[in-house]
């Protein structure tokens, strides 16, 4: 039994094309980067409306395997990503005395999914007259 667990599962659409190193630039420590858009929101009872919220998650895909697997992934692809949440200290070259923290997900599994059929089927709910 594991005492600790750090697992994140995200499902959403790519917000931009995958950032992958060129084939001749892939080394053991190479990584690809995905930007995953995940939609959520809350219901505002007073206004009787749904208030959507889109979160953009930076997914680091470490190693040559993921560099090859993510090559060709494009904006709009529907994915499920499982990984580990990490908080990295980032030093910006423009302000080296003011480092900041960034949350990233380091992928352990990536699955391409079929986009589910959404909405009302054509002709459903219509009466022919």
Three-class DSSP category at 30: coil
Each residue's pLDDT tens digit, 48-63: 998 999 999 999 999 9
Q: Is residue 76 part of a domain?
A: yes
Query: What is the spatial distance between Cα 80 and Cα 47, in angstroms, rounded to a whole number?
Result: 33
| CATH number of domain containing 29 | 2.40.50.140
122 belongs to a structural domain: no
Domain holding 19, by residue range, is 8-112
Q: What is the pTM of this model?
A: 0.77
Question: Does a structural domain hold residue 31?
Answer: yes
Q: Burial level of 5, CB count in 10 A (0-12/13-18/19+)?
A: exposed
Asked if residue 118 belongs to a domain, the reply is no
β-pair partners for 43: 50
Q: Confidence band (pLDDT; 50, 70, 90) for 115? A: confident
CB 34 within 8 A of CB 83: no
Counting the structural domains of the chain, the total is 1
Do 67 and 61 form a contact (C-beta atoms < 8 A)?
Answer: yes
């Amino acid at each position: 039994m594991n005492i600790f667990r750090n697992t994140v599962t995200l499902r959403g659409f790519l917000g931009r094309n995958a950032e992958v190193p060129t084939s001749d630039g892939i080394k053991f420590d190479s990584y690809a980067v995905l930007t995953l858009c995940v939609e959520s929101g809350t219901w505002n009872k007073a206004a009787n409306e749904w208030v959507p919220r889109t979160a953009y998650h930076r997914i680091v895909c470490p190693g040559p395997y993921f560099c090859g697997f993510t090559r060709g992934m494009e904006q709009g692809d529907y994915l499920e990503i499982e990984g580990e949440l990490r908080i990295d200290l980032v030093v910006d070259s423009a302000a080296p005395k003011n480092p900041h923290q960034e949350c990233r997900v380091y992928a352990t599994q990536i699955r391409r999914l079929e986009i589910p059929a959404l909405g009302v089927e054509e002709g459903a709910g219509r009466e022919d007259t």
